Amino acid sequence: MITGLNDSSMLAKRSGIGKPPHLTSGDGAIIIAMKPTITAQDIQAMVSHWLSTPPNGYLGSDYGADPQSLLQNPMAAGIGDAFIGKMREDVPALEAMPSGAANVFYVDALPDRRELIVDVAGWQERVS
């Protein structure tokens, strides 16, 4: 018997009283409810997080993006494909999407500005 607890607190501990109903089953075991599917909003949030995280932003991991490095290079150099490949590697949910679902392109803005745009299945995020 655990000292310092009375019978009613032991009963509450065993029965899961005080825990949210989605975390407790009838026998007192804790079950964590998980989302059944990954939504488009989830993927958008993952890609946004990846774009805002600098490379090697997490200790011991090369997770992250450096979109600014794409701006001063020609898109024909293949750097965009490497960028998309790294994005697919770092955000595993993109692997389930078709190969053409993730794109990177830029738009020239006047007078001398270039905006980088990452497109994932029709959702676009301006990076620069």
30 shares its domain with 57: no
pTM of this structure: 0.67
Q: Strands 123-126 and 102-109: what pairing?
A: unpaired
d(CA 88, CA 109): 28
Could you tell me which residues are beta bridge partners of residue 114? 108
Shared domain for 58 and 115, answered yes or no, is yes
- Neighbouring CB atoms inside 10 A of 13's CB total 14
Asked if 5 and 54 sit in the same domain, the reply is no
Same domain, yes or no, for 60 and 90? yes
Domain count, the chain: 2
Between CA 76 and CA 90 the distance in angstroms is 23
Position 76 confidence tier, pLDDT thresholds 50, 70, 90: confident
Tell me: do 28 and 44 sit in the same domain. no
Q: Which of 11-20, 25-34, 45-54 has the lowest mean pLDDT?
A: 11-20
Domain enclosing residue 10, as ranges: 1-34
